[in-house]
Chains A and B, each alone.
Chain A
Amino acid sequence: DIVMTQTPLSSPVTLGQPASISCKSSQSLVHSDGNTYLTWLQQRPGQPPRLLIYTISNRFSGVPDKFSGSGAGTDFTLKITRVEPEDVGIYYCMQATQVPYTFGQGTKLEIK
């Protein structure tokens, strides 16, 4: 199984400041079809996960452009340009290149 490792596990951020989360996979996420199936999810307190970013950098429908994804191969990053109160929650990276789908441990974003 592909192991996904996120850093940091906790990220205290000042409102209006940027945030960045790293995700590394134990093997390349490049699929045989040439795509890289790396996804970012947001889980607000008491809510189910919500899709933010797919195939490294594509924002899902309705996701504001303050969220952006980048990376390649085994190293990926989620950035939030200006953190707002509604961004509080846990962020997960997930790989869908290979079954079983696997998730990072989660990064808790909180306001400093």
Chain B
Amino acid sequence: EVQLVESGGGQVQPGGSLRLSCAASGFTFAGYSMNWVRQAPGKGLEWVSSITTSSFYANYADSVKGRFTISRDNAENSLYLQMNSLRAEDTAVYYCARDHDTAGIDYWGQGTLVTVSS
């Protein structure tokens, strides 16, 4: 069974930093590109970032480019999102999501809430 478990969320002040983690199990992690997608409270879904299997390519939404960094550790079956210079508008549930070659995204974690507030 595919499982994606996010951690690292919490409350942080504007301008602060946070590092999210996603522990993957139930599949060969190194064989899949991965994504982060976020959802602000009561709002829709916004793709944030993706990373290829060997970390060769990483893509970012314009809204986070230069502030967020995606990375992965295939030996540890883990995905990360380093978030710097956080803003109030970054407040959201952040989902770790597995890439699918024809669906875009097939499996989603339960999410971790990030609140940026003073």
- Decide if A and B are genuine partners: yes
Q: Does A35 contact B (CB under 8 A)?
A: yes
Bound CA span A75–B96, Å:
29
Q: Which of A51, A102, A105 contacts B103 (CB 8 A)?
A: A51
Q: Which of A48, A60, A92 contacts B106 (CB 8 A)?
A: A60
Q: For the complex, give the distance between the alpha carbons of A39 and B105 in Å.
A: 9
Taking Cβ atoms with an 8 Å cutoff, the residues of A that contact B are: 35, 37, 39, 41, 48-51, 54-55, 58, 60, 92, 94-96, 99-106
Closest to A51 in B: B106
Is B106 a contact of A49 with CB atoms below 8 Å? no
How far is B39's CA from A106's CA once the two chains are assembled, in angstroms? 12
Please name all residues of chain B whose beta carbon is closer than 8 Å to the beta carbon of A60 when the two chains form the complex.
Answer: 103, 106
Residue numbers in B under 8 Å from A35 (CB-CB): 102
Besides A39-B104, A49-B108, 4 more A-B contacts (Cβ < 8 Å) are A37-B104, A58-B102, A100-B47, A101-B105
A-B Cβ contacts below 8 A, count: 63
Q: Given A37-B104, A54-B103, A55-B103, answer yes or no on A103-B109 (Cβ-Cβ < 8 Å).
A: no
**Which residues of chain B are near A55, meaning CB under 8 Å?**
102-103
Given the complex of chains A and B, what is the CA–CA distance between A63 and B45 in angstroms?
Answer: 21
Identify which of B44, B47, B108 contacts A48 (C-beta below 8 A): B108
B13: interface (CB < 8 Å): no
By a CB distance below 8 angstroms, the chain B residues around A94 are 45, 104-105
Q: How far is the CA of A104 from the CA of B106 in the complex (A)?
A: 17
B46 within 8 A of A: yes
Task: Give chain A residues whose Cβ lies under 8 Å from the Cβ of B100.
Answer: 51, 54
Q: Which residues of B contact A48 (CB under 8 A)?
A: 95, 108-111
- B59 touches A (CB below 8 Å): yes
Contacts of B50 in A (CB 8 A): 99, 101
* Chain B hits for A51, CB < 8 A: 100, 103, 105-107
Partner of B47, one of A58, A101, A104: A101
Q: Say whether B105 contacts A37, CB under 8 Å.
A: no
In the complex, chain B residues whose CB is within 8 Å of the CB of A95? 104
Per the bound structure, the CA–CA distance linking A56 and B35 in Å amounts to: 21
